Amino acid sequence: MAPLDNSDIPLLRHTLATLAYRTAKTLRGAPSGFENFRAAPSTRTAIQIVAHMADLMEWALSAAEGQPVWREGRPESWDNEVARFFAAIKALDERLAKPATPACSPEKLFQGPIADALTHVGQLATLRRIAGSRIRGENYFVAQIAAGRVGMDQPPPVREFD
């Protein structure tokens, strides 16, 4: 295995910003009761998905710090789980912004927790549509996404469509 370096960190941080942007868009304006919506009896509810996404970001941070630990949280309130996700992604981004090399490779962080979380954003968007509250499509290529901007507060879309 090649020695770890920080050359992939800027792209990884941009990926986190993309995840935050897309998650914020998917959660903004969610209808009352959406947190308990599920596509079928055997699928996760929206709050369970967001809680799992927070778990993934917390796991990624622990791996980057060299002490990978998986903890599956029990969903609390919708607002708490949304806040926990954005706090966890912020903590991970801040760790990656430090000059110290992460304890695990950026590739592993991407292929595991970050790619998994991106998948779950798509699930949330699909749930919104099924629940009758779809989000508008967007040309994400022109979106104002920037490394370090990983909170719920995101710039407005540049080019949405129906």
Nearest to 147 by CA among 11, 3, 5: 11
Quick check: is 99 in a domain? yes
Question: Does position 94 have pLDDT exceeding 90, yes or no?
Answer: yes
In a domain, residue 14? The reply is yes
Q: Give me the mean pLDDT over the 77-92 stretch.
A: 98
Q: What is the pTM of this model?
A: 0.95
Tokens of 107: 């590739």
pLDDT at 162: 87
The CATH number covering residue 61 comes to 1.20.120
Query: Does the residue 17 lie in any domain?
Result: yes
Domain count for the chain? 1
- pLDDT per residue over 7-53, tens digit each? 889 999 999 999 999 999 999 999 999 999 999 999 999 999 999 99
Instruction: Write out the residue range of the structural domain in which residue 34 sits.
Output: 9-161
Note the pLDDT of residue 133.
95
Identify the pLDDT of residue 104: 93
Q: What distance in Å separates the CA atoms of residue 48 and residue 54, rounded to the nearest whole number?
A: 10
Helix %, strand %, coil % of the chain (to 5): 55, 0, 45
Q: Does 3 reside within a domain?
A: no
**63 confidence band (pLDDT: 50, 70, 90):** very high
Structural domain includes residue 144 = yes
Q: What is the pLDDT of residues 100-159, one digit of tens each?
A: 889 999 999 999 999 999 999 999 999 999 999 999 999 999 999 999 999 999 999 999
